[in-house]
Amino acid sequence: MPRPRCNGGSAAKLPTQFLRGSKCPSEHSSHFTSFVALFATGCAEVTPLSSELESTGPAAAILGAPGDQGLMRAFATSLGDEELRTSLFEDLRDSPYDGKRIHLNSYLLGERGAPLLEATSAILGVSTPHLRNHIKKLPSLELRIPSDAHQVRWAGGPEIILVGITDEEQFRGMTGATGYGTDGAAVDVNIHSLPEAPVLSIAPSTRAWREDSESARARAPKKKQGTVSTGDEMMMIMSCSSGNEFIPCETNDGTGGGGGTLPPAGGVAISSSAEECWGPFGGDGDDDSDSLIDQCEYELAMAFRPYLAIDTSSPYTDREPYWAVRRDGVETGVQIFYAMAYNFDGGDVYAGFKAHQGDIEWVIVKIHKHGTKWYVDYIRTSAHWDTIFSDSSTDGYASFSYPSGVERTRPLIWVATSKHANYRSQSICNNSGPFDSDDCSTATTGTGAAHDVEILYSANLGNYTNPLANVTTSRKSSNSYYGGQDCFWCGDTFRGWIAVDHEEGATDYLEPLTTFGF
């Protein structure tokens, strides 16, 4: 595809700072180009905004040094002010929207975002009314922290990095992007494996925002936690049946809804009774010292292991699953972490994801006991977790299908071909991923081994404090190709037990396990 040019091809009108090393967004999104590109790619049409920028002072003073991204850098620099940064932190923490998102347009035009807008205008040397008027004409933008781990980690400090995501032409085939710290310095960010420092992203909206989205956000309950989110909070969603204004009820067809407090229906019983499941910390049969008997953990992991809707013809389906179980703070509540542990990731040329050894996709199933049965409550699926494009989400039990025909038992998880991102439905999969690149159209369903998650008693990971399985060898170790070792609790790159380092590895399993409290 030829590189698109702004202003119908009249690139000569653009300031040189807008032209350095960036691609122009395509012509079909002129408003998007005029501001988001200014935020994120360093390329913009000549608009009243850019005319004012040019007329109010030297370009270097307004836009920064050559190659800087003008407005993006100014926005990041404004967050160097502790009061402004704390205000944004609180608003992200208190956001009632999925993924702790904020609708950027209405936020900057509202009471809470006004000081941030004013500070950004001052740094740029433009009038606040002019910038405000321009924002009113823009398409919908979102502000969020895409990484679950960063949400759990960020407590409002100055270490945040601001990154802009525009259109697919900018990032397709790329692994890095330029972000900006709160000191205004440029920072190289690997968008497929985010850095330790928390990343805040600005991107086109992925949901339909109401006109009063900011006033609705401002009415949301205030929270007291010291970080944007917690692992336990991520494993819960508000029920649409509770009458809340933020999560609309949807049909029970695998597209939304779920949760709630309806009387239990379906569910499954296991061999161990409640008395046999709970035990003293570190007592007999509790090798990981979590007061949940290991035999009971195994039975629960078996009972709720997902069915996988997967493309069985793909050469990248080999996996050697591990699992972990923990109590979730309530007397009868339990969470189960299924580490799919794929041997190889096939990549995606279209989206710019390289093939690599190992793949750490996972599913967490939150259950509770009622009477003699256990029931699924919520499920969190990994989808490009810890990348700038993360679609990881928690959904209620009614959002999923159950191949056994019994609700709230073993859920069906849709797996994207080659990349293994997990989704609650085929339609969600086919419209997700970087630039909608994920695909489940060739995935098939079934109950045989190809669609199963193998659960071995010896594959219990335990927990961070008391690991059981940790440094591991492949179940295919008789094949010298799989002669390597992988460590689940060490923070090492996961390589699918492949002995020869001929490709990049995946990120580690330690991060998601500890993010969710295992």
pLDDT tens profile 468-489: 999 999 999 788 889 999 999 9
For the record, the structure tokens of 481 come out as 């190709």
Rounded distance, CA 270 to CA 371, Å? 12
**Per-residue pLDDT, 503:** 60
The encoded tokens of residue 167 equal: 């259109």
The H or E element containing residue 30 is helix 30-40
Contact 518, 463 (CB under 8 A): yes
**Which residue is associated with the tokens 């390329």?**
43
Q: How confident is the model at residue 233 (pLDDT cuts 50, 70, 90)?
A: very high
Res 58: pLDDT? 29
Distances (CA, A) of 70 to 26, 36, 179, 193: 20, 11, 12, 25
Tell me if residue 454 falls in helix, strand or coil.
coil
**57: pLDDT strictly greater than 70:** no
Residue 83 φ/ψ region, left for φ over 0, alpha for ψ in the -120 to 50 degree band, beta for the rest: alpha
Q: What local confidence, expressed as pLDDT, does residue 30 receive? A: 37
According to DSSP, the β-strands at 504-505 and 356-359 are parallel
What is the 8-class DSSP label of residue 462?
B
| Residue type for position 145 | I
Contact residues for 263 (Cβ-Cβ < 8 A; gap 6+):
none
334-391 pLDDT per residue, tens: 999 999 999 998 887 666 677 888 999 999 999 999 989 999 999 999 998 888 888 8
* Percentage, residues of the chain above pLDDT 90: 56
Closest CA to 71 of 155, 9, 5, 130: 130
Q: Residue 151 has what pLDDT?
A: 97
Read off the pLDDT of each residue in 121-131 and give the average, rounded to a whole number. Answer: 91
Residue 274: pLDDT band (50, 70, 90) is confident
Encoded amino acid at 204, one letter: P
| CA end-to-end span of the chain | 46
As a whole-number percent, the residues of the chain with pLDDT over 70 amount to 78
pLDDT at 279: 83
- pLDDT category at 190 given cuts 50, 70, 90 is confident
Question: Does the pLDDT of residue 412 top 50, yes or no?
Answer: yes
Looking up tokens 């699992």 gives: 323
Burial status of residue 500 (CB atoms within 10 A of its CB: 0-12, 13-18, 19 or more): exposed
**Under 8 Å between Cβ of 292 and 282:** no
Provide CB contacts within 8 A for 258, sequence distance 6+: 237, 239, 252, 378, 395, 396, 397, 398, 399, 400
Which SS3 state, helix, strand or coil, does residue 134 take? Answer: helix
Burial of 394 (0-12, 13-18, 19+ CB in 10 A): buried
The residue type of 112 is: R
User: In the predicted model, is pLDDT for residue 67 greater than 90?
Assistant: no
Higher pLDDT among residues 263 and 511, named by residue: 511
Q: How many CB atoms lie within 10 A of CB 83?
A: 9
Which tokens belong to 80? 């160097």
What is the DSSP-derived secondary structure letter of residue 65? S
Rounded to whole angstroms, the Cα distance separating 335 from 249 reads: 25
Which residue bears the tokens 């493309």?
Answer: 311
Closest residue by Cα to residue 41 from 52, 29, 51:
29
- Range from 51-60, 121-130, 212-221, 300-309 carrying the lowest mean pLDDT: 51-60
**Residue 31 pLDDT level (bands cut at 50, 70, 90):** very low
Token output for 142: 């979102």
Q: Is the pLDDT of residue 218 over 60?
A: yes
> Do the Cβ atoms of 195 and 150 come closer than 8 Å?
no
Length of the chain: 518
Contact 482, 499 (CB under 8 A): yes
pLDDT of residue 477: 78
